[in-house]
Amino acid sequence: MPRRGQVSLPAAQYRRRREDRAATRAVRRPGHHLSVCGSGHGCRQTPSARDGAEVGGSPSVRARLRRLAGLDERWSGRLRVEAGTPAGILATVGAHLGDGPLWLLLWLAGIFYFPPPRRWHILAWLAISIAAGVITYAIKFTLKRPRPSEVDGFYSKSYDRHAFPSGHATRMGTLPLMGGWLFPEFAWLFWLISIWCILSRVALGVHYLGDVVVGWLIGAGVSLLALVLVLS
């Protein structure tokens, strides 16, 4: 029975008010899945806080790339050496072992010195390095990642100001595969030179570690593809 002065409500309207109060209390509870039913309109579920994290809270690709770049910078910093120290001198020598003019001279000398078919294999090595270099520089000029620091004498500041991927590392990626295929007795030396060069570029602040790893993989990948599909 209603109290004195209180208007009696129809049963359906009274039930609807009770449901509205229950819904309001449930909304205030964090993480609660609420089924809100309107009269004759079906039910819908409101998402919880956990659902929101799953649907809209995942980090974006750009944020993940920024985190990865931060890790790359920290790891690269641990490999840095001081110029003028024994380690710095060793890194300076190693960093130049992948210079383009040096390798062009070596390839041309090999083409003129060795008879066929090794002559044509060295020419193929040169072509593979050029193809891998085209891929590397296409990525470089697209992403335009700045170098860790401005270091004189290790790259051209007019056309090679960007860091990712490393062109030197791309050439060094072809060395153990193509060089080891042509001169298997020197394969161990080619691996040593390759690793020495790419780590030296990082140690001197010319590149980040990620630059040389990706550059090396491009050179090695193109070489492996050529060996499997064409030269074998």
pLDDT at 113: 96
pLDDT at 144: 87
pLDDT at 30: 44
How many Cα atoms occupy the beta-carbon half-sphere of 193 within 13 Å? 20
Beta bridge partners of 35: 45
CA dihedral for 62, 66, 72, 75, sign (positive or negative): negative
pTM, rounded to two decimals: 0.70
| Nearest one of 177, 166, 152, 138 to 72, comparing CA atoms | 166
Q: What's the pLDDT band for 84 if we cut at 50, 70, 90?
A: confident
- C-beta of residue 209 within 8 angstroms of C-beta of residue 78: no
The one-letter code for the residue type at 118 is R
pLDDT greater than 80 at residue 151: no
Q: And the tokens for 204?
A: 């001197």
Residues 6+ apart with CB under 8 A from 197: 94, 95, 97, 98, 168, 169, 172
Residues 6+ apart with CB under 8 A from 104: 126
Beta bridge partners of 36: 44
pLDDT greater than 90 at residue 66: no
Residues recorded for the chain:
232
Highest mean pLDDT among 35-39, 138-142, 204-208, 217-221: 217-221
- Residues 163, 74: Cα–Cα separation, whole Å: 16
**What are the Cα distances from residue 153, in Å, to 52, 103, 106, 119, 231?**
52, 17, 21, 32, 36
Measure CA 39 to chain center: 54
Q: And the tokens for 203?
A: 């140690």
Taking residues 193-218, report their average pLDDT: 94
Does residue 27 or residue 178 have the better pLDDT? 178
- C-beta of residue 213 within 8 angstroms of C-beta of residue 220: no
Q: And the tokens for 57?
A: 């809270």
Q: What's the pLDDT band for 124 if we cut at 50, 70, 90?
A: very high
- Residues 175, 181: Cα–Cα separation, whole Å: 9
Sorted by where each begins, the domain ranges of the chain are 83-231
pLDDT greater than 70 at residue 13: no
**Across 84-88, 103-107, 197-201, least confident range:** 84-88
